[in-house]
Amino acid sequence: MEKIDTPVRSRKLLLNVIKRQEMDPKPGIDGGPRGDDLYLWDCTIIGPPGTPWEGGNFQLTMVIPHDYPFRPPDVRFKSRVFHPNIYPDGRICASILDLEWSPALAQPLLMLLSIQSILDSPILEAPANQEAANLYMKYRKQYNRKVRAICAATHSTTEDQLSSENGGMHPSCSAIRRFFMRCLGCCESG
């Protein structure tokens, strides 16, 4: 049996993930490679409906290690977020991205779904943002108002981007399509 080296394996895994995503997009999340770099993704999470996060369009970056899926990606919010499990620099404090990581979880879009679910269900045992955790636990109405204001700001920023760039398509959606077109062109010529 031929042994496949880790970068080749991770590349094949990521190409399969992108292919599945194109065929079966998940509502409320999106992501894909930035340019030609299969290991650097631009991602979007839409705030879950029926929560204070509703209407928010949050941009993230995902840096995927070359030995993926044996190590988790580094996922960070680029958009401003006020949340107990998100550090001010956008890093996410979630066990699935660190201590509880398993190669079985090696689906970038499932990670985005998990992050999306954390938005309205923070884990308060060891918060990354103590101010957000305190407000959430003691003054929920104030917390919700602050979250809604941040969501409104991200929504208007995203609408401006969509109207002026990529023909009205979200940047990560168009990135996936461009990536596939390059791959198809490459494969067809070979």
State yes or no: is 43 an active-site residue: no
User: Could you tell me the CA-to-CA distances from 92 to 52, 101, 103, 140, 152 in Å, in that order?
Assistant: 19, 14, 19, 21, 21
CB within 8 Å of 4: residues ≥ 6 apart: 12
Write out the two tokens for 38: 């299969």
Kindly name the residue from 93, 151, 183, 186 that is annotated as catalytic.
93
Q: Sign of the C-alpha dihedral, residues 50, 140, 112, 155?
A: positive
Which amino acid does the sequence have at 107? Answer: Q
Q: Which residues are catalytic?
A: 93
